[in-house]
Each structure stands twice: as structure tokens, then as C-alpha cells.
Structure 1
Amino acid sequence: MSLLQRSILIGIVLQICLFSQAIAFTVGTQQHAVLSLRRERSSTTELAFFRRLFRRNKKQATPSEPAPAPARAKRIPVEPADLCVIGGGVSGLMAAAEAAKKSPKAKIILLEAEETLGGRVQSDKTPDGFTLDRGFAVFIEDYPVAKTVLDYKQLKLKPFLPGALVKITETSSLARVADPLRQPEELLTALFAPVGTFVDKMRLLLVIQHALSTPVENFFTENETDTETELKERWGLSDTFIDRFFRPFLEGIYLAPLNEQSSRMFNFIFKMFSAGAATLPAGGMGAIAEQLASKAKEAGVDLRTGSPVTNVRKEEDGYVITTELGKAAIRAKNVVVATDGAAAQKLLSQINGLEELAAKPEQPQRQVMCMYYAFDAPAPVEEPILILNGVIGKRGTPECPVNNACFPSVVNEGYAPEGKALCSVTILKDMMDAYEGKEGDLDKAVREQLGTWFPECKDNILSKWELKGTYKIKNAQPAQLGGPFPASINGGRSPTTYRGVLPQGLLVCGDHMATATLNGALESGIRAGEAAAKLL
């Protein structure tokens, strides 16, 4: 091969090689570009995805402000005490005052759920000067315990006349039942009153003589029956006399039918009425609780109202009493539960070892309603005397709902401003139920009934008497006959027991622990205060 031919062959080979490299470079460049593009697209998509995820999580999980630290549970301050009395009614005030008197160095705290002291023995003052007792009640000055602990002179007591005025029929005038032993001038009136027969009047004298000559403690050792049986079978009184006088009189006191009242309690209360007077304090019945509160405060008791107790817990060194959530707790070495029976049972059942009380039946509670009317005229009855509904067959019906009435401002002028008068009307449970939710109808029925009692004032009663207040008391008294825990125990039950023995340092008092009377509440309070003082 010539030199020229070799040169031409070498040139051709070089061109072929250069062309192949160019093609490879082009293909490689295109593949790289495509791969780079794919990678770029993939990276862009992933970046967008993670950005969206981040933003979503930021909205859901990351607060706009730093999350606050978890709040710590608020610690309730615990205050030490030697004795805590739960309940600021008559019995609780008496227990606290007695314990403080006997142990003056002890720290004693009394807790009352309501804003005022006194429990069921309270009176309200209206802006225009009337005094309204929270439920009609009288103070019997011959109560044995009351005579030893209360200052009668300070209370400025004014008495009712013995006996009563009784409405016999819807059209008759009021008949007088008098006590000839204390009102000899009313002997003829008593004998000829159309309330019962002459034989009834003679037998009533025997009842009075028995009441006056028998010591109180002896009544409570007699065989117990109901009061209706006592009056009929023991004393031989007629149905008419019982229905016209004793039924409205005693049911107005004990707020229960005669066949649900204890014969022992009848003899006790009849002795109190026969030996002493029923009275009203100048400042209302609430003045009694005010006097007891003053005694307790002077003795050094720390009285706290607006402090409802929610829990009592037993610990090794005493009891922790918790008041309404967020307020305070008291660690007391000893506790007196001085509430009504139902509340006492509920509190006690929270204590370790007493849980079984929660399942036990409660003692029934008696109910009553009281309505007050004010007017600018003399009272229709200007004597300080009780007025009873003795209309047989009509008493306790929707047409005649009033059981008894009186004019407190006539008994004690402190109940009304000068020149004005106040009427108190008592409605018992059956008529409370009948008129539930129909208070306007009840007001109308009461006015119509009083208009038949005092016909000369009927127009004023219907149109001018002002309804000043209505009180419904659901737990006015504990039942005194029957039930698991009757309130008919003279001297009171031991405060260290409540349907069984209580743990050391735990005491109970109240009228449900003694008799269903103010005297019973005072009596039980004193026993609990004395027992507490021995533990301090």
C-alpha cells in the first residue's frame, strides 16, 4: 500500500472515531440531562411534601405560644383545733358554749352551713319593722333545761293566755277553752264552752291534775302508746272534744296526726303548758339562738357561718373536717355533729367504720308551713291567745287549710311596728302537699277561711292584708313515735352513741337525740358539751 493510501485510510479511521465519540457524548449528555431533570423533579416534589407536612404538624402540634406548665393541685390549708362543732343550731351552740365554759383554754371552732346561726330557731326582720319567725313556734317558760341556761329577762318574754279560741262551725263565733285552775274567773266559760261535754270538762281536770302532780321523768317510764289512744282509752275523752280541741292544738305543736304522737310526749308537753306559760320573746324566737351565740362567743368559741361541711375523715390523731371545696379544712382532736338527724347520718356514714349508716333508714321528719300577714289596723282578736280550727270534717281540707293562727304582735308588741299588726297562720303537711306549686290559690283559700273566723274584718282580709312572708320548713321536727330513732328520750341519748357506739372523740347531739322540743335540743347540747370537755 502506498503512502498516499495509508494516509487516506488513517484519516477515515480518525473520522469514524471522532464521530463515535461525538455520538456517545451526545447520548451521555442527553441521559445525564434526563436523569438530572428527574432528580430535580423528585427533589422538588419531596421538598414540597415535607414542607406541607411540617406546616400541618406545626398547626396541629406546635402552639403559637409555649405550652404552660401543668398546674399544681391547690392545697387546702389545714387548721388545728381541739374541738370542732358541726352545726350552729340551738344544740350546737349549747354544746360549744358548754365545752368552752368547762375547758376555757381549748381551741373550739363551730361551723355553720348557713350565713346565720340558730338553725330552725331563727327570725327575720323585714325592712319595714316586722319580725317573722321561721315557722310559728312558742317558747314554753317552764322547760326544765331552758330555765337553767337562758336569761328570761333579757328575752323580754310575753305570755299567751291559757287555753284557746276555737272555731267550732263555719258559721259560729269563736268558742273559748279556758283553764279554770289558772283562770278561776273563766270557770263558767270553761264549763259551758261548746267544745266538749260536761263530762269531758271534768275528765280534763283529771288530766291537768295528773300533769301537775307527776314528775317529768315519770312520764317517760309509763307504757308508751300514741296520743289518740291515750286520750280516748286512758282518759275517756269524747271524739268531739278531741277533734275540736286536742287534735288542732297538739297537731299544731308536734306537726303530726295524733296517732303518730307519743303519749309520753303528750304528758310532758301538757305539763309544761299547765305549769307555765307559752310565750314569745320581744325579738322573735331567734332571740333565743342569738343569746346562745353570745354565750358561746363570750366563752371563746370561734363561730363561723357560711361554712358547709362536705366531709369528715377519721385519722390516727383525730378528724379532718373539710368545708366547701376551695375553702379550708380543720384537723380536730374531737368532733361534735350537731346537725339535724338526716344530715348527721349522712356525715357519719363517711367515716371509716360507720359506712353501714348509709344503708339504714332515716327517722321521718315533720314538715310545716307558716304564712304571715301584715295590716294597718287593730287585730281582730286583741287578746294574746291561740286560735284553733275545730271545724270537724272541714279542718285540713282545701277549703279550710289553716290549722291554727295567732297575732304575734298582740302577744309581744316587738313583732310589729307601732300602729301595725301581724297575723301568723300555720299550714300542716297535707295542705302543703295539696297546694304544692299553687301558692296563689293557697293565699286566697287562707284569706277566705280567716274571713269566716273574723267576719267583721273580711273585706280587709281579702283586699288589704299584705302577705309578708311564707316559710316552708321541711325538717321542722324529728318524728317522736315509730321509726328507727324516735325523738322521745327524756334526758337525751348518750352523745357517744348514734345507732351504735361511735369512735373515740366523735359525739352527736340534737333534738333527734332527745325529745322533739327546744328543751330536748338544749338538753342534748349540754350533754355533748360536757362529754367533749372531758376529752379536751
Structure 2
Amino acid sequence: MNDFSTVIIGGGVSGLTCAKYLYDKGMSFLILEGSDTLGGRVRTDRVEGFRLDRGFQVLLTNYTEARKILNYNDLDLRYFDSGALIKAKKGFMKVQNPFKNKAAYFSMAFSSVGSLSDKLKIRKLAKQVADIPDEAFFSMSDTDTLTFLKEYGWSNQMINNFFRPFFGGVFLENDLSTSSNFFQFVFKQFFKGEVALPSDGIEEIPKQMSGMLPKEQIRLNAPVKYIEGNQVFLEGGEVISADRVVIATDPHTAANLLGEDTAYQYQINTCTYFSAEYSPMKNQRFIILNPDRKGVVHNICVPSDISPKYGAAGKALISVSTQGLDKIDERQHIARIKRELFEWFGAQVNVWQHLRTYHLTEALVKFQAGTEKQNLKLGENLYRCGDYLAYPSLNGAMQTGREVAEMISEI
């Protein structure tokens, strides 16, 4: 039997964050990760030389928690252009962030994405949320995002052309039923920061975090069977005794370890990757949004335009995202994507090669109006962390990991 001060079950972002803050306080810990790699959902696969993030993921550089713990220079961040392209009946409409590019005020004023009044309201909301502390958003009264947008006065044209495809892509749902508090929090992040990718893939985030920790205090391929008091029982029969136990796993695993019958509701996302001889984006590093949410293509981007390392042998990497598909026939799904994008980009789509499809049935825990932050301390020596306990984001995962570490270090 081995003895440790704190055992952290799970080596995802929240577990790594907890470990980092404990380490900085000079406190001992052991991370037990059930798989062969750290990072949880924040992973990047290598397929035929391409780097494929497991689902379309980005880093919002204004995240308070990320700025506390990550070294952005060492991540070699590469940035999207600020704004988005919106598919129109003919071509695309460009919506830029006027707070990043003063010339965007002129282009937005004459775009058909919404009325001038709609665009002025964007500026108004940005000023309102700019100085609100991140935590304060989640203590305000809320409603669903769609109701908030309507009550704020945006037109249906603006909601359907911009807010639904853009924030529907962030929330991974098309009805905008997500809490308006989370909407305002995310709105602030987009307007105050940048949208970025580490040049070598999104998994460079947990790699950097694990590199801050002693290797001997991290164990991979160490699935936990159950916990009993301060003892942790591994699948292989080993028993580890600890002063404290932190559960930093996905919601299902956490519920099983705790003996809970908690049923979480999830948003579904399907991310499909293609290789192409060249990018269809013509040197524009935007995400393209599709206002027609009945289509199979909800948004598209070219990660290799952001960082060439995502591509391979001079070829471009295309990422196509779809929300809400309960089931998927991969061949039919790929064919539908190509038919739709043929209308967007023409015959070049016919020669795109499918690389991999990620059908994520539990991409994010739903965060609807009235959702409250859950307790992180479950007992005298038992804790848990993870974004599902606060709000679904990298920032939420890091925040809960930090808060648990602070609770432990104050003992």
C-alpha cells in the first residue's frame, strides 16, 4: 500500500490544474489517469500526417484562468481573424469585431447581417460586459440566450444570421437554450481576447501543464475501480492510501466512483475532417457560419490556415462541424457534407479526402438557465473538479481545479 498526501483521479485539464496549484504550494500529490494520455477531451490525433483535434476546439485568450497558468508564448499561439464569415445566398458576409479593427465599423455598418440598430447594440453589450468579473456573470439572474437576445432588442434577422450560427457553434446547440449568463461571459471573451490555436494542436495545452509537474507524480494507464474512505482501489488490485482524494474525471466516471445516480444531459457534436489540395478560404482565417441550421454543415474552418502544422505535405486540413445528430451513418454524412459544400466552393470539394469523423455524443454538459454551480467539497477529505460542475469551458475546468487546490492548501 502506498501513501500520498493527495490523490487526484483523472489527468484532464481540471486535474492537471489542481495538481499545478498544489505543487506551487509545496504539497505532494499523485495523478492517476486511466488512459494512456493526459488531457481528457483536449486531445490531438495524428492521421496521415495531419493534426486532428478531437472535435473543433479553440483557446479564448482572455480566459482568466488560462492566463494564470499557461505560457502563451511557449504554446506558439496562432490566431483566427477576429469575426466570422456568414454564408449568404450568394457568397459570404463578413462580420468583424469593431473593437479589434476600427475599419470594421464601416464594413459592419453596410453589411446585411442585421440593421444598424442591431450593430450598435453589439457595441453597447460589449461595453456593458467588459468590466464584469468572470465569476460575477454566474451570480446574476438569467434566462435562456434566445430570450435574452430578443429582450435586448436584436432583430430576428440578426439573431438568425449571426447569433444563432455563431453562439450555437460555441454552445453546440441550435435553439440558444443555453443560459444567458454563460452567453454574456462568452461574449466578453470574444470581444476582449483572441481566438487561437496552439501551433502544434490543442493538446499542447495539457502537455504544457503536465510539463510543469514532476513526472514521477503522474501515472498513466492507472484506472481506478472504486474508492473507500481515504483508500483508492485500482483495477489491477493495487490500493493507494491518501490524506485526501480529488475526483477530476468525466461526469459518468465521477458518478460511478461516488455511487451517485446523476444523469447529465449533453450537447452532441460531430466534427468531420477532410484533406484538400488547397484551402477554399483564400487566405482568410475566419470561421464560416451557416445560418441554415437544417443543413449538415453548421460551421467550417481550415485549421491549416491558422497553423500550417495542422496540414500535411502541403495539403490543407478542412474541419466541418455539425450539432445535434443523435446517430450518424458516416458514408451518408460525408456525402451530404460534400453536396452542401459543392454549392459553397464548387468542384474542388469533389476531390477532398475524408480523414476522420468524431461523433461526440457527450461533447458538453448542457448549461441551461437556472443551472447552479455544484459543490466541489463532498466530505472532510473528498473533493471533485471539472467544468461540468461550474460551466462548460476550459476556463471552467481550470477554475474548479484551482478552487479545489485552494481548499486543500488552506487545511
TM category, shorter: over 0.9
TM-fit CA distance, 1:310: 1.5
Which residue is equivalent to 1:97?
Answer: 20
Query: Out of 278, 300, 312, which is 1:405 matched to?
Result: 300
Task: Mark the structure with the bigger radius of gyration.
Answer: 1
Letter aligned with residue 360 of structure 2: I
TM-fit CA distance, 1:389: 0.3
CA distance in 1, matches of 2:342, 2:110: 26
Note the alpha carbon deviations across 1:260-288, whole angstroms, 9 max, x for none. 21111111110010001111111111000
Which residue is equivalent to 2:322?
Answer: 427
1:486-501 correspondence runs (5 A): 486=371, 489=373, 494-496=375-377
Query: Out of 60, 70, 80, which is 1:160 matched to?
Result: 80
CA distance in 2, matches of 1:482, 1:272: 20
Which residue is equivalent to 1:269?
Answer: 186
Q: Is the 8 A contact 1:87 1:112 kept in 2?
A: yes
1:496-515 correspondence runs (5 A): 496=377, 502-515=378-391
Letter aligned with residue 442 of structure 1: H
> What SS is found at the alignment partner of 1:454?
helix
Letter aligned with residue 102 of structure 1: K
For residues 212 and 418 of structure 1, do their structure 2 counterparts lie closer, same or farther at Cα, with a shift above 3 Å needed?
A: farther
CA distance in 1, matches of 2:279, 2:387: 37
> What SS is found at the alignment partner of 1:119?
coil
TM-fit CA distance, 1:214: 3.4
Q: Is the 8 A contact 2:143 2:369 kept in 1?
A: no
Q: Is the 8 A contact 2:279 2:302 kept in 1?
A: no
For residues 408 and 331 of structure 1, do their structure 2 counterparts lie closer, same or farther at Cα, with a shift above 3 Å needed?
A: same
TM-fit CA distance, 1:514: 1.8
For residues 421 and 345 of structure 1, do their structure 2 counterparts lie closer, same or farther at Cα, with a shift above 3 Å needed?
A: same
CA distance in 2, matches of 1:113, 1:290: 16
| TM score, norm. by length of structure 1 | 0.73
TM-fit CA distance, 1:344: 1.3
- Structure with higher RCO (Cα < 8 A, 6+ apart): 2
Does residue 477 of the first structure (1) align with residue 387 of the second (2)?
A: no
Does residue 370 of the first structure (1) align with residue 370 of the second (2)?
A: no
> What SS is found at the alignment partner of 2:305?
helix
CA distance in 2, matches of 1:460, 1:181: 35
Does residue 452 of the first structure (1) align with residue 343 of the second (2)?
A: yes
CA distance in 1, matches of 2:135, 2:400: 16
For residues 257 and 84 of structure 1, do their structure 2 counterparts lie closer, same or farther at Cα, with a shift above 3 Å needed?
A: same
For residues 141 and 323 of structure 1, do their structure 2 counterparts lie closer, same or farther at Cα, with a shift above 3 Å needed?
A: same
TM-fit CA distance, 1:470: 1.1
Letter aligned with residue 227 of structure 1: T
Note the alpha carbon deviations across 1:51-108, whole angstroms, 9 max, x for none. xxxxxxxxxxxxxxxxxxxxxxxxxxx322222111110001111222222134x3x2
Query: Out of 212, 225, 235, which is 2:143 matched to?
Result: 225
Query: Out of 276, 280, 285, which is 1:384 matched to?
Result: 285
Which residue is equivalent to 1:309?
Answer: 224
For residues 448 and 290 of structure 1, do their structure 2 counterparts lie closer, same or farther at Cα, with a shift above 3 Å needed?
A: same
Which residue is equivalent to 1:208?
Answer: 126
TM-fit CA distance, 1:532: 2.7
TM-fit CA distance, 1:437: 4.5
Which residue is equivalent to 1:75?
Answer: none
TM-fit CA distance, 1:257: 3.7
Which structure's residues are more often helix, by fraction? 1
Q: Is the 8 A contact 1:122 1:286 kept in 2?
A: yes
Which residue is equivalent to 1:58?
Answer: none
Note the alpha carbon deviations across 1:233-258, whole angstroms, 9 max, x for none. 1x201112111111111111111244
Query: Out of 453, 458, 461, which is 2:349 matched to?
Result: 461
CA distance in 1, matches of 2:303, 2:163: 22
TM-fit CA distance, 1:460: 2.6
TM-fit CA distance, 1:482: 5.1
RMSD of aligned alpha carbons: 1.8
Note the alpha carbon deviations across 1:149-171, whole angstroms, 9 max, x for none. 100001011111111100123xx
CA distance in 2, matches of 1:80, 1:512: 29
TM-fit CA distance, 1:380: 3.4
Letter aligned with residue 11 of structure 2: G
TM-fit CA distance, 1:423: 0.7
> What SS is found at the alignment partner of 1:339?
coil
Structure 1 stretches lacking a partner, 5+ long: 1-77, 350-356, 497-501
Does residue 291 of the first structure (1) align with residue 208 of the second (2)?
A: yes
Q: Is the 8 A contact 1:102 1:530 kept in 2?
A: no
CA distance in 2, matches of 1:380, 1:179: 19
Q: Is the 8 A contact 1:379 1:410 kept in 2?
A: no
TM-fit CA distance, 1:534: 4.0
> What SS is found at the alignment partner of 2:298?
strand
> What SS is found at the alignment partner of 2:103?
helix
Query: Out of 335, 342, 348, which is 2:252 matched to?
Result: 342
Q: Is the 8 A contact 1:495 1:531 kept in 2?
A: no
Does residue 131 of the first structure (1) align with residue 51 of the second (2)?
A: yes
CA distance in 1, matches of 2:162, 2:282: 19
Does residue 236 of the first structure (1) align with residue 153 of the second (2)?
A: yes
CA distance in 2, matches of 1:271, 1:292: 25
Which residue is equivalent to 1:150?
Answer: 70
